[in-house]
Amino acid sequence: MAPPDEGAAAGGARRWVRRETLLGLALGQFVSLLITATGFASSELARRGINAPTSQSLLNYILLAVAYGGVLLYRRQPLTIKWYYYLILGIIDVEANYIVVKSYQYTSLTSVMLLDCWSIPCVIVLTWVFLKTKYGLRKFLGVGVCVVGLILVVFSDVHASDRAKGPNPLKGDLFVILGSMLYACSNVTEEFVIKKSNRVELMAMLGLFGAIVSGIQISILERKELHSITWTTGAVLPFVGFAVAMFLFYSTVPIILKICGATMLNLSLLTSDMWAVLIRIFAYHEKVDWIYFVAFAATAGGIVLYSYKGSNEVEQTAQVAGASDERGKDRDEEAGTQNPV
């Protein structure tokens, strides 16, 4: 029989894990809705013939740089990670956004949302290799079921050519898969950075270098496109809506990464598929192929299989999370001593 204080500590750790897990799940659904909003905005711009994916993301990076950069300058704290790592992260993130937004020109909104699940096996491989995260057989099986859903989507887009899926569905699907791989690299890098640094520094530097890289890319690739756009209300609102949704998304992701990690973040985003299907049915009045529903059932089953935890896993998570929280408190106290208000 464990001493009372050890039993109380273990119970408190389990309650902490439950609270943090519920918070992570709630925030996961919030960013899932934001991703659906960005997909809706990108699809609407594509329907209007506007093809400026980098320009869509530029305002988001500027908002991040101004909002979080102002806080960083006010604190007057030196960077905890070398600036060129943030530059690399900015390049990866900008190109991931560019490729995925570009895919809306070729394939359907629902396909883009469902194919995002390819980022999950990529994240698992990267976290396993670089962050030394351990995964059991059940988690790999869950990811495998999600990949089955991805294969079904590609199969549907290739063979159901009579549906309104865009001018080149296969090309669009390949763009999404490539973009998902880059998103995986970005998410894992952010998870590493957020555990070594802090959210404000990460968002400020990502916004700064993302804006610089985006500005250079726009001057090379999208100048003519921007000049040709007729800036009506119908064109401006999706641009602004995309930027605001992305700003909120980027601001929330580091919190989820710190609580749950990159893999669970990407699993949570799979629920955006449900919202994408609803948008496609009710907003665009399109018919949805039955294979999409099978694919969604497969991805949902994979999430449930992956997220299930046994009692031993819960106990280990509580211990690791508690230790991480203590380290975070120590860093905050040290920062407060060095930079008194």
| Domain contains 113 | yes
Taking the C-alpha atoms of residue 237 and residue 71, their distance in angstroms, rounded to an integer, is 28
**Would you state the pLDDT for residue 258?**
84
**What would the pLDDT profile of 130-145 be if each residue is shown by its tens digit?**
888 888 888 788 878 8
| Domain contains 100 | yes
Is the CB of residue 120 less than 8 Å from the CB of residue 91? no
In this structure, what are the phi and psi dihedrals at residue 309, rounded to the nearest 5 degrees? -125, 135
In this structure, what are the phi and psi dihedrals at residue 138, rounded to the nearest 5 degrees? -65, -40
**Would you state the pLDDT for residue 14?**
54
| Domain contains 208 | yes
| Domain contains 133 | yes
- pTM, entire model: 0.76
Structure tokens at 173: 């699907």
**Mean pLDDT confidence for 92-106:** 89
| Domain contains 9 | no
The CA–CA distances, whole Å, from 192 to 50, 195, 206, 256, 289 equal: 36, 5, 14, 13, 39
| Domain contains 329 | no
134-169: string of b/e by CB count within 10 Å (b at 16+)?
Answer: eeeeebeebbebbbebbebbbebbeeeeeeebbeeb
pLDDT range class, residue 34, cuts 50, 70, 90 = very high
Structural domain including 257 reads 37-222+233-321
Q: What secondary structure, in 3-state letters, does 275-322 show?
A: HHHHHHHHCCCCCCCHHHHHHHHHHHHHHHHHHCCCHHHHHHHHHHHH
Strand ranges (DSSP E) for the chain? Answer: none
Taking the C-alpha atoms of residue 97 and residue 259, their distance in angstroms, rounded to an integer, is 24
The total of structural domains in the chain comes to 1
The H helix count followed by the E strand count for the chain is: 14, 0
Is the CB of residue 57 less than 8 Å from the CB of residue 98? yes
**Would you state the pLDDT for residue 341?**
38
Residue found by looking up tokens 């001593």 in the block: 337
Count CB neighbours of 284 within 10 A.
Answer: 16
**Would you state the pLDDT for residue 15?**
55
pLDDT range class, residue 214, cuts 50, 70, 90 = very high
| Domain contains 6 | no
| Domain contains 251 | yes
Q: What secondary structure, in 3-state letters, does 326-339 show?
A: HHHHHHHHHHHHHC
